[in-house]
Amino acid sequence: MTTPRRTFLRLAAGAVALPVVARPAIAQSYPSRPVRIVVGFTPAGATDILARLIGQWLSERLGQTFVVENRPGAGSNIATEAVVRSPADGYTLMLVAPANAINATLYDKLPFDFIRDIAPVAGLIRVANVMEVNPELPARTLPEFIAYAKANPGKVNYASAGTGSQQHVAGELFKMMAGIQMVHIPYRGGGPALADLMGGQVQLFFGTTASTIQLIRSGKLRALAVTTAERSNALPDVPTVAEFVPGYEASSWYGIGAPRNTPPEIIDRLNKEINAGLADPRIKAKLEDMGGTALTGPASAFGKLIVDETEKWAKVVRASGAKAGPD
């Protein structure tokens, strides 16, 4: 079986070998009609907001409309398959999210290989998740929470937005690395999970900074730690999980992809314009409001991130025994 890393390196090497004839002409004429950005989740969520933010920027910079098309279902696999089957001409793009890396192992059979069939275009943002608890829980710090969980094995319930969601695998990774037992309670979305966390039905949730920071600031939730390798600018006084569980990291990240064999000159142009957007003060401010940091760099850097995350979560999914249920 070809590993994700070997697949990525083979495809990257092939891309370098492509002929360069007529590349400038293609780049200069693109785009000549509207471009779709397919999002595998419902409107108003983080993926939708990011797609519309970068789509508006690209529309202004490139003189054509970038239209966001929401195609939710099957943990974003419906949207991914639609993009994979689209012409590789730069007029169909997709919003790439952690689910795409997790799904590679969570689902037994997929009609595509994400790393093989989707070309990385550019990263957008990395967002910290927050390990947060109901304020009624006696633990006020992460070490106290670990001690509480060890003293009450199997009695701590942690919520997620569904089996295989980023919150689920973040919790499973924490269980493995902290050496504790917790019970996973999957919900159909982050909203119901948050509601039960505040109601005391579950004790823990790995929420995104964007969706929970106001609840933390108002005292409705208690933040124990953030899951990024470094502290979040949005919550500078909250430690990282890694300060107490060395090596732990489980952030959310997003970017743009395209069907494989999309002309490299089109990918290069999109990458350049997206990176310019990430450096724009208006967009930087909006990303900071979401509690995130920009993922600037070449398409190859975003491709490496996808490979690394696919390999990382494959180990966690297999260890947890998680399988995708009916959508």
Mind giving me the DSSP string for 241-265? GGGTSTT----EEEEEEEETT--HH
Residue 294 burial (CB count, 10 A): 19
Q: Kindly give the residue spans of alpha helices, DSSP state H, lying in 127-232.
A: 142-151, 166-178, 190-199, 209-217
Q: What percent of the chain has pLDDT over 70?
A: 91
Other Cβ atoms closer than 10 A to 104: 21
Does 25 score more than 70 pLDDT? no
**Beta strands at 183-186 and 252-259: parallel, antiparallel or unpaired:** unpaired
What are the Cα distances from residue 172, in Å, to 55, 72, 106, 242, 313?
A: 34, 25, 13, 15, 10
Q: Average pLDDT in the 152-178 region?
A: 94
Instruction: State yes or no: pLDDT of 16 exceeds 50.
Output: no
Q: Are the beta carbons of 172 and 320 closer than 8 angstroms? A: yes
What is the distance between the alpha carbons of residues 158 and 326, in angstroms, rounded to a whole number? 21
Asked if 241 and 223 count as a contact pair (C-beta separation under 8 A), the reply is: no
Average pLDDT over residues 25-30: 78
Strands 252-259 and 92-96, by their bridges, are antiparallel
Please report the pLDDT score of residue 8 as a whole number: 57
39 touches 69 (CB < 8 A) = yes
What's the confidence (pLDDT) of residue 291? 81
β-pairing verdict for 35-39 and 66-70: parallel
Cα 23 from Cα 104, distance rounded (Å): 33
Q: Is the dihedral of CA 97, 100, 102, 103 positive or negative?
A: positive
21 confidence band (pLDDT: 50, 70, 90): very low
Give pLDDT, residue 176: 96
Whether the per-residue pLDDT at 255 is higher than 60: the answer is yes
Average pLDDT score over residue span 228-257: 95
Residues with Cβ < 8 Å from 87, sequence gap 6 or more? 259
Residue 210: per-residue pLDDT? 77
Q: Which domains does the chain have, with CATH numbers?
A: 4-127+251-320 (3.40.190.150), 129-243 (3.40.190.10)
**pLDDT tens, residue by residue, 183-219:** 999 998 888 999 999 999 999 999 988 788 889 999 9
Given this model, what pLDDT does residue 7 score?
A: 61
